[in-house]
A and B are shown apart, each in its own frame.
Chain A
Amino acid sequence: MGKRWSNRIALGVLWACGLITVAALGAVIVYVFVRGIGQITPEFIFTKPHGVNAEGGIGPTIWATLYVTGLSMVIVTPIAVLAAVYLAEYAVQGRLVNAIRFAADTLASVPSIVMGLFGFAFFVEAMGFKFSVLSGALALSFLMLPIVMRATEEAIRAVPKYIRWGSYGLGASKWQTVSRIVLPAALPRILTGIILAMGRAVGETAVVIFTMGQAIYLPLSPLDPGRSMTVHLYTLAMEGINMDAAYGTALLLMVMVLFFNLSARWLAARNRRLR
């Protein structure tokens, strides 16, 4: 077999593998879209489920999902950003800092069902928050924390040194330089990290089933329980109650996650252009 042929075959294999990746994504999207699109009506989005077969809509689960995601973002952002500022700007680089970084990376790789179990034991039971949006948000924040922290740390490190010098050269203190120059300059990339983490939280099932419960309820107070879209989808499908509603929920869920990911990409791209 000549060089030309082996080259062609290699190229063909690479091309096929690329195609499989795209096809896998395409298949999921198309399948969920076709099965779910018929369900998507204003009634489905805004009203409560009712009846034995969960007819009607999924409104409270959408709300509960957005609520718990938003709340965990509010909890995570200040902690993650300040931790990252400490790591990137203040801490003496060495063992301790590497240990913190390693801890964050390991936290990010804990299976989410384990995180859910921990959230149940710690927030639901020990802290006494019961099944609630608060318990869910706290448990989810364990998941989001490392993502936002590492994104922020990298964003801070990417701010050019000479911009900091400009600030120090004007008699700015370290904190003034960090808060007025470095963080604003790093903001787009920090936001990208936050949005990605939110997308992750929206799609999370195991953590919220253990901490927010399964009751279909429109939570208003953070101490109210609620059922997320993912948990709703799981229940509908596993118990075979209403497959149409399950696909409708799946489609909305995908649209939401896609929205978060595309926003993050858009922000990142816009930021690159501005540089």
Chain B
Amino acid sequence: MTSVPAVATAHEALTGNPRFSVRGLEFYYGDFHALTGITIDVRENSVTAFIGPSGCGKSTFLRCLNRMNDLIPGTRVEGKITLDGADIYGPGVDPVDLRRRVGMIFQQPNPFPMSIYDNVAFGPRLHGVSKKSELDEIVENALVRANLWKEVKDIMGRGGLTLSGGQQQRLCIARVLAVQPDVLLMDEPCSAIDPTSVQKVEDLMAELKSSVTIIIVTHNMQQAARVSDETAFFLQERQGEAAELIEFGRTAEIFTSPRDRRTEDYITGRFG
């Protein structure tokens, strides 16, 4: 990782290699230029928070990282994104394999209409695990890591949709963890769930980050400050213009002494 050009918004290096390196990313929805000049390194064993006003392209950027945007017709990517040094948009890369390595959690919990057990076992089964004992172990392990095991261990046969919203979200997290991803992308995972579950999700993030790189989009400044090691601030300055990465650095620094005026304005609540 020594040959990559310097990150535009250079900052003191944290320990840990970059997992994702993004260089000069441009993103288009058809004619609409949504993101421009995004250059950022996301380090392993850390939690990175993406903040910024609604519509500034945080979700769009997140979906570039697991090529979920490929599913939207007419989208186009320029620039380079590497995961552990390999270009994820390179020839021969199967987005299906990439998505197994880079899991995603959405704002709206989206359990499948099947039992709790089958929800978590879905991914492993997809990738060829069929032995009951092996599946049982993977499912339990994933539910433990997702901070949900105690609540559901006796009702594994119940429909995933019968759980509360916050439990559903943790079920979705377990479902992703069951396929052993290297990265977890979380798009406002806590904005539709109850406070108890928010606490549990924040706890599990702290426990997970030693093994899984986490990127979280959040509108809640306190949450970003609590859970993340580094924070990136995105902004679309004018309606219809492409959004940019304004500032990226250690969370403590971003929140106490932001270098950019616009970051400061956002954090102190002057817009967004």
Contact = CB atoms under 8 A, between A and B. Distances in A.
Given A162-B106, A165-B68, A170 B113 contact: no
A271 to B, nearest CB: 10
B110 A171 contact: no
Contact of B112 (A166, A168, A171, A176): A166
Contacts of B82: none
Given A172-B126, A176-B126, A167 B112 contact: yes
Kindly state the interface size class of chain B when it binds its partner: 20 to 34
Contacts of A162: 106, 108, 110
Interface string B41-69: 00000000000000000000000001010
A238 interface: no
Contact of B68 (A168, A176, A181, A274): A168
A209 B119 CA distance: 50
B71 A168 contact: yes
Contact of B113 (A168, A169, A171, A185): A185
Given A165-B68, A176-B126, A180-B122, A170 B100 contact: yes
A172 B96 contact: yes
A163 interface: yes
Nearest to B159: A274
Interface residues of A, number: 18
B242 interface: no
A184 to B, nearest CB: 7
Given A165-B68, A165-B104, A170 B126 contact: yes
Contacts of A176: 126
A171 B106 contact: no
B97 interface: yes
Contact of B110 (A166, A180, A274): A166
A173 interface: yes
A160 B111 CA distance: 11
B215 to A, nearest CB: 14
B66 A169 contact: yes
Contacts of A172: 96, 123, 126
Contact of A171 (B114, B123, B172): B123
A169 B99 contact: yes
A163 B127 contact: no
- Chain B CB count within 10 A is highest, among A163, A168, A274, for A168
A170 B110 contact: no
A160 to B, nearest CB: 8
A180 B123 CA distance: 11
A166 B71 CA distance: 13
A246 to B, nearest CB: 47
Nearest to B124: A170
Contact of B179 (A165, A170, A184, A274): A170
A184 B114 contact: yes
Contacts of A184: 113-114
B103 interface: yes
Interface in A152-186: 160, 162-163, 165-173, 176, 180-181, 184-185
B106 A165 contact: yes
Contacts of B100: 170-171
B122 A170 contact: yes
A166 B126 contact: no
Nearest to A169: B104
Contacts of B101: 171
A86 to B, nearest CB: 17
Given A162-B108, A170-B99, 17 more contacts: A160-B110, A163-B112, A165-B71, A166-B110, A166-B111, A166-B112, A166-B175, A168-B99, A169-B68, A170-B100, A170-B103, A170-B122, A170-B175, A172-B96, A180-B126, A184-B114, A185-B113
Task: Please list the 6 inter-chain residue pairs (A to B) with the smallest Cβ-Cβ separation, ordered nearest first.
Answer: A171-B100, A169-B104, A170-B123, A166-B110, A162-B110, A171-B99
Interface of A: 160, 162-163, 165-173, 176, 180-181, 184-185, 274
11 contacts: A162-B110, A165-B71, A166-B112, A169-B66, A169-B103, A170-B100, A171-B100, A171-B101, A171-B126, A172-B126, A274-B113
